[in-house]
């Protein structure tokens, strides 16, 4: 979105710029991540930094272990009620503007831990920008989530987004299975 700049002393704006676009472009490629890693999703989080997936291609590989130097909070894994105030405190200490990614089903919804010790999704604690489902999510899905977030940063969109599967699981899993069954011998003799 463009921005109208009015110089002091003039009665009316006379220059239209794309300052917000420029800021959005710069911010989306200079993310400083704070990884809040609590559980098994951490294995896939580590894979992101490997040469195969190479998250540095997207300008988001630099971790910061002080929240005051970070603007992207990766919440990776299950969050217990005991960890909840810590996560909230870390979010509050981060600088503005800041964004939050829920990495995996546990961070997004609590996952299968339907019990009194587990937070049923980090959005109960911190405003969440992008949810990445999966137990754990594949690195490709995480990259999709990061790209979705970068699009939102560039456009100034703060509505939450959810990463969709790249493939339709029905056509991927069930159709080949059905074909296999149809082609398989039935075992009948008559
Ligand atoms: S989503 Fe699955 S892999 Fe990730 S932390 Fe929860 S149980 Fe572990």
pLDDT digits (tens, 9 = 90+) for 159-168: 999 999 877 7
Best residue among 74, 77, 132, 142 to mutate for probing ligand 1, ranked by most atoms within 8 Å of CB: 77
User: Going by CA atoms, what residue is nearest to atom 1 of ligand 1?
Assistant: 135
Task: Report CA(42)–ligand 1 centroid distance (Å).
Answer: 9
Cut 0.95: pTM above it: no
CATH 3.30.1360.30 fits 31-166, yes or no: no
Q: Which atom of ligand 1 is nearest to the CA of 44?
A: 3
The residue ranges of every structural domain in the chain are 31-166
Question: pLDDT tens digits for the chain (190 residues)?
Answer: 445 445 455 555 555 567 888 888 888 999 999 999 999 999 999 999 889 999 999 988 888 989 999 999 999 999 999 999 999 999 999 999 999 999 999 999 999 998 999 999 999 999 999 999 999 999 999 999 999 999 999 999 999 999 998 777 667 777 777 777 777 655 555 4
Alpha-carbon distance 84 to 117, whole Å?
A: 10
User: Going by CA atoms, what residue is nearest to atom 4 of ligand 1?
Assistant: 41
All residues at 6 or more sequence positions from 162 whose CB lies less than 8 Å from its CB, including other chains: 130, 131, 133
């Amino acid at each position: 979105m463009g921005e109208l700049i009015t110089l002091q002393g003039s009665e009316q704006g006379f220059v239209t710029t794309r300052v917000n676009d420029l800021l959005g472009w710069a911010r989306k490629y200079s993310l400083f991540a704070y990884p809040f890693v609590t559980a098994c999703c951490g294995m896939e989080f580590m894979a992101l930094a490997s040469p195969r997936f190479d998250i540095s291609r997207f300008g988001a590989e630099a971790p910061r272990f002080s929240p005051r130097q970070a603007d992207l909070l990766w919440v990776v894994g299950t969050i217990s009620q005991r960890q909840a105030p810590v996560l909230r405190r870390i979010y509050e200490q981060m600088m503005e503007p800041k964004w939050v990614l829920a990495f995996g089903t546990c961070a997004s919804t609590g996952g299968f831990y339907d019990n009194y010790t587990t937070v049923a999704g980090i959005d109960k604690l911190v405003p969440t920008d992008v949810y990445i489902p999966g137990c754990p999510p594949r690195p490709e899905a995480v990259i999709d989530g990061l790209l979705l977030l970068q699009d939102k940063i560039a456009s100034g969109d703060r509505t939450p987004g959810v990463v969709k599967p790249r493939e339709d699981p029905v056509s991927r899993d069930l159709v080949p299975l059905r074909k296999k069954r149809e082609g398989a011998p039935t075992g009948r003799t008559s």
